[in-house]
Amino acid sequence: MLVTRPKELQAAQRILSSELNAIDLACSRFRDDSELSELNRADGHPMAVSDLFANAIEVAIRAAVITDGAVDPTCGRSLTRLGYDRDYAKLAHDTSALTRPPAPAAGWRCVLYDPRKQTVRMPAGVMLDLGATAKALAADLAADAIWRQLGCGVLVNLGGDIATAGQAPAGGWRVGVDDGVTIVDPGPPDDTGLPAGSSARRREPHVIAIEGGGVATSGTAFRSWRRGDEVLHHIVVPSTGRPADVYWAAVSVAAANCVDANIASTASIIRGRSAAAWLTGQSLPARLVRPDGLVVTTGGWPK
């Protein structure tokens, strides 16, 4: 978190912590006491939900609608079948082979949200996962809360989901975009004229400046784990329940808020080859990076 008035930093930190605790209690798949876990256990019965959880559900459904189902909140069972059934920090402790087949998403249309009664109902056995949108929503809500309560410009970065609010500093907020690509340096030639050795290094982040809105980066290298002889990642194709093929190593998108940037970047990983054309059609500035380091930009993203 960054603020334009350093004297407000501690107060901003308290607001940020409060917002994160609230979103965790509402939307975490890894807490038995969260509203999300309670809904996943509801066995087809309607459940009244809080204002915050209702907001998160509406955002998740909107994500599915505007991406034609590419970003689908009913991928919870898909992820558990892939071994993502515990907090990410604990995944490395189990590298055994998967024993159950992939589980395609149930489909976002089975999530019945009644805004008038503020209730949610879905068929028994469906498991929601809001990881694709809830973190970005938390960044937007926290940035807005800090700006409204303290009146200073603020940037909140939650693991690559970046939201801003209020007046940016002179020259804008400087953001380093990490595409996760490793460059192999062949090294200097020896006396035969051939490289004497090689070394691998992560490429330096690409730096941009933003005056407002949000930026999000999605990629397959940032959250992956091994089960048996497979390396898996968390961006799932709803129709198959399998991780998306790695056509892009990372996609970064700038939008009016962090939620929209995150939705577009996640959908782009799933869309693969067609993502650049889709982003162009949405008039979104984006930077798409292939695993070999090739960069494609859309919508006026600075070269």
Convert the pLDDT of each residue in 240-294 to its tens digit: 989 888 899 999 999 999 999 999 999 999 999 999 999 999 999 999 999 988 9
- Write down the domain spans for the chain: 2-298
**CA atoms within 13 A of residue 300's CA, in its CB half-sphere:** 6
Q: Write down the pLDDT at residue 99.
A: 76
Confidence of residue 68 (pLDDT cuts 50, 70, 90): very high
Q: Write down the pLDDT at residue 87.
A: 80
pLDDT tens string 182-239: 665 555 665 555 555 555 666 777 899 999 999 999 987 767 767 877 776 678 999 9
- Closest Cα to residue 286, out of 201, 219, 202? 219
According to CATH, the topology of domain 2-298 is T-fold (3.10.520)
Residue 157: pLDDT above 60?
A: yes
Ranking 9-18, 96-105, 122-131, 167-176 by mean pLDDT, the lowest is 96-105
pLDDT tens string 93-152: 777 877 788 889 999 999 999 999 999 999 999 999 998 899 999 999 999 999 999 999
3-state secondary structure the chain: CEECCHHHHHHHHHHHHHHHHHHHHHHCCCCCCCHHHHHHCCCCCCEECCHHHHHHHHHHHHHHHHCCCCCCCCCHHHHHHCCCCCCHHHHHHCCCCCCCCCCCCCCHHHCEEECCCCEEECCCCCCCCCCCCHHHHHHHHHHHHHHHHHCCCEEEEECCEEEEECCCCCCCEEEEECCCCEEEECCCECCCCCECCCEEEECCCEEEEECCCEEEEEECCCCEEEECCEEEECCEECCCCEECCCCCCEEEEEECCHHHHHHHHHHHHHHHHHHHHHHHHCCCCEEEECCCCCEEEECCCCC
Looking at residues 154-183, what average pLDDT do you find? 90
